[in-house]
């Protein structure tokens, strides 16, 4: 059953979960409902209606999990299950996640809260949940076999712990971890300070970095991939499917992110310097905070940075590893920069009509071309803005800073209207003189043209006569 978050929070009735059993104390015969979400767009923050005040987070292309109060316990319900996730328009993936999405919903609570989290397993194998970075009893840490039994399919287990410190955390399985995390099982966990004024911001965004290897035309990630991923994601979305960060001018903004990929990511934001404010180890003392424009996040780490949005515009934010701002990249693609392919293109077109030679002058032309693609995949470079193709993909989005936005307005405001005279423009003055350039040294290597060899015809020597046939085991194409 899907229920609106507002309706869930305001509901006094309890909805039975579909699990066959609840382990532990028999008093928990009734478990809270497990709301689901299939919409891939950023949902409005879940504003608290009771208890301590805090600025709720906005989960990029995600949502916050509702809870119910049961005495002095704040109760949540996560369901581990297969899900279908749109990575960007034109491509979907069959993943594993929680409550209808990958990553699962963000959990938000307050320092000092007692949380009880029901976890129902609807996967085809055992699972657990590890509460990454939290201080809690050892038996609640979620490492299957080490400090708890694995959760079998069809069962529900209960985690209970006191939130002892505020900060930025995440959750993920510690049961068949390689497969389950490669399939998209993860989620964000934010613990707000007990003091509402402590490090308060006006807008607080969160997302997780994850990656998949999904071949064109297929839907399920290759779980044994170690490094050669082809889809680099924020919250299981890639550009142009990643929503913008919508911000009002002069807002104090926090952006938090966690890395559950197999490599580090230097996250760079244009237009601003920012202060690193928090890690999963805790808050950075303001006196020790440092200014950056890029911050690296290693595997298993969380980072947060703060800035004041006093510069209007559409500011790019992305991973600075250039291959991580590409989609569905083939690792075996040849490099043809500087290679003239006109002659071979004509010959290939005779047997493959519509063939388009590309790559001789770089790959930027791909961003502007609408080429046919296999089913369920994405172009390497894609996305258009007001001045043309953006030529990006993967881990790329835009911080949109605007005047006059209401406090809880997160709707995409469209493209920035630049004041006159503030956009780079073409020079059309007097012809520029050529700058003197040094002559490069002679490499001694002769340039070569493409030649097409018909294997049905004999090879000819310098005198024009056929050469002897290659011996068995030799290479006739050398």
Question: What would the pLDDT profile of 428-455 be if each residue is shown by its tens digit?
Answer: 999 999 888 888 888 877 766 656 566 7
Measured torsion, CA atoms of residues 91, 96, 101, 102, in degrees rounded to the nearest 10? -80
Say which residue, 446 or 194, is predicted with more confidence. Answer: 194
Look at the domain 5-52+59-194+267-302 and name its fold. Immunoglobulin-like (2.60.40)
- Over 50: is that where the pLDDT of 192 sits? yes
Give the mean pLDDT of 337-355.
70
The answer, yes or no, to whether residue 22 has pLDDT greater than 50, is no
Enter the tokens of residue 118.
């029901």
Burial, 76: exposed, middle or buried (Cβ in 10 Å; 0-12, 13-18, 19+)?
A: buried
At residue 278's C-alpha, the angle toward residues 407 and 232, to 5°, is 85
The pLDDT of residue 329 is above 90: no
Instruction: Quote the mean pLDDT of the chain.
Output: 87
How large is the C-alpha radius of gyration of the chain?
27
Q: What is the model's pTM?
A: 0.82
For the purposes of burial, counting CB atoms within 10 Å of the CB of 383, is it exposed (0-12), middle (13-18) or buried (19 or more)? buried
**List of E strands, 241-358:** 245-248, 252-259, 265-269, 274-279, 282-283, 291-292, 294-297, 302-308, 313-319
- Of the CA atoms within 13 Å of residue 365, those in its CB half-sphere come to 9
Structure tokens at 450: 């493409």
What are the CA-CA distances from residue 387 to residues 390, 423, 447 (Å)?
8, 10, 38
Residues 140, 150: Cα–Cα separation, whole Å: 12
Ordered alpha helix ranges (H), 71-190: 177-182
> Which structure tokens are listed for 89?
């328009």
Residue 440 burial by Cβ neighbours in a 10 Å radius (0-12, 13-18, 19+): exposed
Which residues share a beta bridge with 353? none
pLDDT (mean) for 348-354 = 72
pLDDT band at 139 (very low <50, low <70, confident <90, very high): very high
- Residue spans per domain, the chain: 5-52+59-194+267-302, 332-376
CA-to-CA separations, 111 to 162, 167, 409, in angstroms, rounded: 8, 9, 27
Query: If residue 342 lies in a helix (H) or strand (E), which one and from where to where?
Result: helix 342-351
């Amino acid at each position: 059953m899907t229920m609106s978050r507002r309706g869930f929070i305001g509901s006094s009735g309890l909805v039975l979960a579909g699990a066959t059993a609840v382990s532990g104390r028999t008093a928990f015969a009734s478990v809270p409902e497990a709301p689901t979400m299939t919409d891939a767009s950023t949902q409005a923050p879940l504003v608290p209606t009771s208890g301590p005040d805090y600025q709720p987070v906005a989960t990029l292309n995600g949502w916050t999990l509702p809870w119910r109060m049961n005495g002095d316990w704040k109760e949540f319900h996560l369901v581990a299950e297969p899900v279908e996730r749109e990575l960007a328009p034109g491509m979907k993936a069959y993943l594993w996640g929680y409550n209808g999405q990958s990553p699962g919903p963000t959990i938000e609570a307050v320092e000092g809260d007692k949380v009880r989290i029901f976890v129902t397993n609807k996967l085809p194998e055992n699972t657990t949940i590890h509460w990454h970075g939290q201080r809690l009893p050892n038996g609640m840490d979620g490492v299957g076999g080490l400090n708890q039994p694995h959760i079998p399919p069809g069962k529900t287990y209960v985690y209970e712990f006191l939130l002892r410190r505020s900060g930025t955390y995440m959750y993920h399985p510690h049961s068949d971890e390689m497969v389950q995390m490669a399939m998209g099982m993860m989620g964000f966990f934010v613990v707000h300070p007990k003091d509402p004024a402590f490090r308060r911001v006006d807008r607080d965004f969160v997302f997780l970095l994850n990656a998949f290897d999904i071949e064109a035309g297929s839907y399920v990630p290759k779980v044994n991939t170690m490094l050669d991923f082809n889809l680099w994601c924020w919250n299981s979305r890639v550009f142009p499917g990643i929503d913008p960060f919508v911000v009002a001018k002069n807002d104090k903004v926090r952006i938090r992110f966690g890395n559950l990929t197999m490599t580090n990511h230097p996250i760079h934001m244009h237009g601003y310097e920012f202060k690193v404010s928090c890690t999963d180890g805790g808050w950075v003392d303001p006196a020790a905070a440092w200014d950056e424009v890029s911050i690296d996040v290693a595997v298993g780490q969380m980072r947060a940075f703060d800035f004041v949005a006093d510069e209007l515009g559409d500011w790019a934010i992305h991973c600075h590893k250039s291959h991580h701002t590409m989609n569905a990249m083939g690792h075996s693609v040849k490099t043809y920069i500087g290679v003239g392919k006109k002659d071979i293109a004509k010959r290939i077109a005779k047997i493959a009509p519509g063939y388009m030679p590309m790559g001789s002058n770089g790959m930027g032309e791909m961003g502007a071309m609408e080429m046919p693609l296999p089913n369920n995949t994405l172009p390497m470079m894609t996305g258009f803005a007001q001045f043309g193709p953006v030529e990006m993909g993967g881990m790329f989005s835009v911080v949109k800073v605007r005047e006059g936005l209401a406090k809880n307005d997160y709707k995409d405001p469209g493209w920035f209207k630049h004041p006159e005279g503030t956009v780079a423009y073409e020079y059309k003055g007097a012809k520029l003189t050529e700058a003197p350039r040094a002559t490069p040294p002679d490499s001694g290597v002769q340039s070569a043209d493409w030649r097409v060899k018909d294997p049905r015809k004999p090879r000819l020597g310098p005198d024009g006569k056929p050469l002897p046939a290659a011996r068995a085991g030799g290479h006739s194409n050398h």
